């Protein structure tokens, strides 16, 4: 049996889930002014989740720029003290990318990506088309968190190229990678002892001028790689339920997204907001 990585000595960083809700409220107020014309696209891309995560762990400051004119996905003012691998006193620029779903079994189809699958399913229901197996089902392959970082290589390269094109050398350049559970389920998702995920993650191949790589392998796993420190830090959010103890990153992120969608009066669906029932 393969030995489980030891969490001894691993870096962790935790915040209250209530902090995430506060960050969400501030972000929604900002998004009302800057995102309304592209809200469905932003939600499908998961950029709202990236913003909530970054605002929660980087001081809850609101973004200073939106990508209306070809800029970066998210931009924030400099922080006064270095944090989680991001240096102080440099404008923070972020590109947000998603790891695409696997579609090896149907190479001519986008069925391997949950966002495309959801869009196709919604369209079929709306038009009254027959819900065939290809429309109703989504196929995937269980991998590992280490393999997830390897699979992210192409999107990391794309984000790096975008940052070098859109930012100055004096900016802090950073990448956020989102991985939907139904696109990339990992064996660690089914291991209730895989809580501190840093030791499970492989070292990413990053250009020297990229400061950090953030990973949200939703719904549970959140971590950030510091290029300067050459290490992963596991990030946690505590439960937002009254009287509840312990860490509940998935629950805090779900509550944050629900609050964001409510404040935005968004009536569409989000591929990132779902429940899994067994039986």
* 92-133: pLDDT as tens digits: 999 999 987 654 333 333 334 655 555 565 666 667 777 666
Of 237, 115, 126, the C-alpha closest to 184 is 115
Model pLDDT, residue 231 = 96
By percentage, how much of the chain surpasses pLDDT 70? 83
> Beta strands 231-237 and 212-217: pairing type?
unpaired
Work out the pLDDT band at 192, boundaries 50, 70, 90.
Answer: confident
Burial 71-91 (b: 16+ CB within 10 A, else e): ebbbbbeebeebbbbbeeebb
**Which of 65-69, 99-103, 175-179 is predicted least confidently?**
99-103
Q: Residue-wise over 187-201: b if at least 16 C-beta within 10 A, else e?
A: ebbeeeebebbbbbb
CA angle in degrees (0–180, nearest 5) for 240-245-251: 35
pLDDT reported for residue 137: 58
Q: What is the mean pLDDT of residues 243-263?
A: 91
Tokens of 248: 């509940």
Place of tokens 């805090």: 252
1 pLDDT more than 60: no
Residue 251 phi, psi (nearest 5): -65, -40
Regarding pTM above 0.85, the answer is: yes
Contacts of 145 (CB under 8 A, 6+ apart): 186, 188, 194, 197, 200, 201, 217, 221
Query: Exposed, middle or buried by CB within 10 Å (0-12, 13-18, 19+), for 96?
Result: buried
Distance CA 151, CA 256 (A): 28
pLDDT band at 153 (very low <50, low <70, confident <90, very high): very high
The DSSP-derived string for 62-84 is PPSB-GGGS--SEEEPPPSS-BT
Per-residue model confidence (pLDDT) at position 175: 98
Residue-wise pLDDT for 45-58, tens only, equals: 999 999 999 999 99
Average pLDDT over residues 216-235: 95
| Domain ranges for the chain | 17-102+140-263
CA distance 172 to 85: 10
Q: What is the pLDDT of residue 90?
A: 97
Q: What is the pLDDT of residues 164-173, one digit of tens each?
A: 999 999 999 9
Q: What is the mean pLDDT of the chain?
A: 86
Q: What is the pLDDT of residue 104?
A: 39
CB 228 within 8 A of CB 8: no
Which has more pLDDT, 191 or 105? 191
pLDDT mean over 137-154: 81
> pLDDT at position 188, please?
86
- The C-alpha atoms of residue 203 and residue 86 are separated, in whole angstroms, by 17
Q: Report residue 60's pLDDT band, with 50, 70 and 90 as the boundaries.
A: confident
pLDDT at 208 over 90: yes
pLDDT at 278 over 60: no
């Amino acid at each position: 049996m393969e030995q489980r990585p030891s969490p001894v000595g691993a870096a962790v960083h935790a915040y209250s889930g209530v902090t995430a809700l506060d960050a969400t409220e501030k972000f929604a107020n900002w998004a009302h002014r800057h995102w309304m014309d592209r809200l469905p696209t932003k939600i499908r891309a998961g950029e709202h989740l990236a913003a909530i995560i970054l605002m929660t762990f980087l001081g809850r400051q609101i973004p200073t720029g939106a990508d209306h004119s070809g800029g970066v996905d998210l931009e924030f003012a400099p922080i006064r003290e270095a944090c989680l691998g991001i240096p102080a006193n440099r404008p923070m620029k972020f590109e947000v990318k998603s790891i695409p779903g696997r579609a090896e079994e149907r190479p001519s189809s986008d069925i391997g990506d949950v966002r495309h699958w959801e869009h196709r399913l919604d369209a079929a229901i709306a038009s009254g088309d027959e819900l065939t197996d290809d429309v109703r089902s989504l196929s995937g392959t269980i991998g590992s968190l280490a393999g997830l970082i390897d699979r992210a290589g192409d999107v990391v390269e794309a984000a790096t190229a975008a940052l070098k094109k859109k930012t100055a050398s004096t900016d802090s350049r950073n990448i956020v990678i989102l991985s939907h559970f139904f696109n990339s389920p990992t064996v660690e998702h089914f291991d209730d002892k895989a809580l501190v995920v840093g030791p499970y993650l492989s070292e990413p191949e990053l250009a020297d001028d990229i400061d950090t790589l953030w990973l949200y392998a939703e719904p549970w796993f959140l971590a950030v790689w510091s290029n300067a420190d050459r290490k992963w830090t596991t990030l946690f959010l505590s439960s937002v339920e009254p009287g509840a103890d312990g860490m509940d990153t998935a629950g805090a992120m779900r509550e944050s997204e629900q609050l964001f969608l409510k404040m935005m009066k968004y009536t569409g669906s989000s591929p990132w907001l779902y429940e899994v029932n067994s039986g």
